[in-house]
């Protein structure tokens, strides 16, 4: 009987179905439905430019969706701050095959979106309202809206959930602690001790002079910190989407909010701390931590215990970009969480 059912599933798949109906009752998604583009003519391959209102006027932000799934729409918030959606392109190798709709989004000042070139606009509350305007324009709601924030995007996703969680179906905080003071402390007390003392002394000397434009600064950080804790590969072997995204970094936005580098934090996010408020997030929430991250994986695990319906994904071989350097663990866990929530689970064992 099982053998015959497997053959039937295969035949249905070849006929255009993603999968047979799951035991949990999840609906099937056909290839034709997933790739159907019902947008107005002329079609743009899923690109939608959204006009947002800000205290400084109207601006345009860029979005692009891949696929259609009325129950699972995953909006991606890039890190940096000031990087682009492009480093998320690795998800195209995994999520469409599972019927998960992806939505790329360049935040204001990033990538294909407008850049007002006004540092007063780089504030967390304004970015939260921007995400809400994007949600409304894309017609996302609590029946389908999954929000994934990576790094700085995790701060933004947390703040969005604290104000607007009624609009969410699921929340994913990827590689971001819930406290920037704790993040800075982890860098100082744990990660800095892994440096060659002479290298660390030189880095600290450059920082003391605020000589951040000195090419020696990043020349020291890239092999000694970034290649160990941001993406665990020699820098000349970093994936092209990562390089393309980071090469477009909005340095004004990055330095204003983060500070001069990933080694600690020194921008206007320095005192951000939401540890005490995590317990008020009641939607299914996943935190993703990695062993070699700039973020403490134990803190990420703790976060999952604070959410009312929390799940934790640990990437033992990953760093800050665990979607690349522990890819199978990351993608398998992310897919399992989204599908579990879609099937009605509040927390998902990963």
Cα angle for residues 96, 102, 106 (degrees, 5° grid)? 145
Straight-line distance from the first to the last Cα atom of the chain, in angstroms, rounded to the nearest whole number? 30
Q: How far apart are CA 263 and CA 182, in angstroms?
A: 13
Residue pair 118/56 in contact (Cβ under 8 Å)? The answer is yes
Catalytic residue among 293, 325, 326, 342: 293
Catalytic residue among 85, 320, 325, 347: 320
Is 151 catalytic? The answer is yes
Q: Please provide the DSSP assignment of 246-258 as one string.
A: HHT--HHHHHHHT
Catalytic residue among 85, 113, 151, 245: 151
Structure tokens at 69: 């799934």
Three-class SS state of 283: coil
Bridge partners (DSSP) of residue 311 are 286
Is 293 catalytic? The answer is yes
189-202 in b/e form (b: 16+ CB < 10 A) is eebbeebeeeebee
Residue pair 336/349 in contact (Cβ under 8 Å)? The answer is no
Query: What is the distance of C-alpha 3 from the center of its chain?
Result: 40
Where in the sequence numbering do the catalytic residues fall? 151, 293, 320
């Amino acid at each position: 009987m099982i053998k015959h059912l497997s053959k039937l599933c295969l035949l249905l798949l070849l006929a255009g179905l993603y999968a047979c109906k799951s035991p949990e009752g999840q609906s099937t998604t056909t290839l034709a439905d997933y790739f159907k583009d019902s947008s107005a003519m002329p079609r743009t391959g899923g690109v939608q430019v959204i006009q947002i209102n800000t205290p400084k006027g109207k601006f345009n932000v860029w979005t692009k969706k891949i696929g259609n799934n009325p129950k699972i729409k995953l909006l991606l918030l890039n890190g940096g701050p000031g990087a682009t959606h492009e480093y998320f392109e690795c998800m195209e190798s995994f999520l469409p095959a599972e019927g998960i709709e992806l939505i790329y989004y360049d935040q204001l000042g990033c990538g294909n979106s407008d850049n007002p070139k006004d540092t007063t606009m780089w504030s967390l509350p304004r970015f939260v309202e921007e995400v809400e305007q994007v949600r409304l324009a894309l017609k996302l709601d609590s029946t389908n809206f999954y929000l994934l924030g990576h790094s700085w995007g995790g701060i933004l996703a947390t703040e969005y959930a604290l104000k607007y969680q009624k609009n969410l179906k699921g929340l994913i905080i990827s590689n971001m602690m819930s406290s920037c003071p704790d993040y800075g402390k982890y860098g100082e007390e744990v990660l800095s001790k892994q440096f060659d003392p002479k290298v660390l002394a030189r880095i600290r000397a450059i920082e003391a002079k605020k000589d951040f434009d000195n090419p020696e600064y990043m020349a020291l950080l890239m092999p000694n910190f970034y290649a160990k804790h941001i993406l665990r590969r020699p820098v000349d072997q970093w994936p092209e989407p990562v390089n393309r995204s980071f090469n477009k970094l909005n340095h004004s936005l990055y330095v204003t909010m983060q500070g001069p580098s990933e080694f600690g934090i020194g921008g206007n996010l320095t005192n951000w701390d939401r540890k005490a408020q995590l317990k008020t997030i009641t939607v299914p929430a996943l935190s993703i931590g990695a062993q070699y991250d700039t973020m403490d994986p134990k803190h990420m695990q703790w976060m999952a215990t604070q959410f009312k319906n929390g799940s934790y994904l640990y990437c033992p071989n990953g760093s800050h970009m665990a979607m690349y350097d522990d890819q199978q663990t990351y993608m398998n866990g992310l897919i399992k969480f989204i599908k579990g929530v879609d099937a009605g689970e509040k927390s998902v064992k990963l």
